[in-house]
Amino acid sequence: MSIASTSGAQRCVLITGATGAIGGALAKAYANQHTHLVLHGRQQEVLLALADTCREQGAQVTTASVNLTDETALAQWLHALCAEHLPDIVIANAGKNTHPQVSGSLEPWDDVQALLDINLKTPIAMAQHLVPAMQARGSGQLVFISSLAGWHGLPSTPTYSASKAGIKAYGEGLRGLLAPHGIGVTVIMPGYVTSPMCNAMPGPKPFEWPPERAAKVIKRAIEANRARISFPFPLNFGTWWLAVLPAGVSQWLIKRLGFDHIEHPGGG
């Protein structure tokens, strides 16, 4: 077992993007008297309310709102955190989405850069700062949030798809690299999970899950040190085939199923 979990000892769980739907549900799922939660989020009121809820469940809670895409600030925060209490589980959950504004247009370049910074560069940077300390200790668990969109790029969200395919590949590669050092790596590939970000995504959203259900499945996968967990089954099965079939067939299916639509929710 790669996660430090001595009976009765308090484990430290770091969750970025804790003010999002999945992050908040994961924080509540982990909150108990044996856990020190380090919750990172940008929405201060939501973050403080979440921290209070988790403390009521018995957890020790530390909050942070450092700019994760500021390399210096991120390094300083993680260095201080490791000096005080090196996390046992790190869930790099913070992320964002973007999509073309009109048919045939590319996504705005500023949006593309911001998305790649938080979805791809930040989780990799976090690993760079945390892995050496985990190696020295001989244990730890890194959790990267990919997406079913990582199986095959969607015309409605090409940059988001690219970032999720990238973090999937990185996590898979890192797992083999770090296993001999007692460090587990789990890649999470959710489908549609109810949240403001999900609501803002164009196209159909079949088999949408509430965040609490997603958190339960994710937590179970982390505890088992699964290499990868993808859900829900019907949508995962279909999107997995998009990666296996000839690209022309996959792109025809994507169009037939309506995943090439870019209309805003509500027709805007």
Beta bridge partner(s), residue 38:
14, 62
pLDDT-wise least confident of 7-16, 36-45, 180-189, 201-210 = 201-210
Instruction: Answer whether 11's CB lies under 8 Å from 4's CB.
Output: yes
73-129, pLDDT tens digit by residue? Answer: 999 999 999 999 999 999 999 999 998 888 778 999 999 999 999 999 999 999 999
- Residue 198: both structure tokens together: 């999900």
C-alpha closest to that of 149 among 46, 16, 52, 260:
260
Segments of the chain assigned E as strands: 11-15, 35-40, 60-64, 89-92, 140-145, 183-190, 228-231
pTM, whole model, 2 decimals? 0.87
Q: Which residue has the higher pLDDT, 154 or 188?
A: 188
165-189, pLDDT tens digit by residue? Answer: 999 999 999 999 999 999 999 999 9
Ramachandran angles phi, psi of 58, nearest 5°: 105, -5
Q: What is the pLDDT of residue 216?
A: 96
List own/partner pairs for 2-9 with CB under 8 A and 24 or more apart.
Answer: 2/139, 2/140, 2/141, 2/179, 2/182, 2/183, 2/184, 2/225, 3/88, 3/89, 3/139, 3/140, 3/141, 3/184, 3/222, 3/223, 3/225, 4/88, 4/137, 4/139, 4/140, 5/88, 8/34, 9/34
Q: What is the pLDDT of residue 120?
A: 98
CA distances from 11 to 8, 139, 227 (A): 9, 12, 21
Strand 60-64 and strand 89-92: the pairing is: unpaired
- Count Cβ atoms below 10 Å from residue 139 Cβ, excluding itself: 17
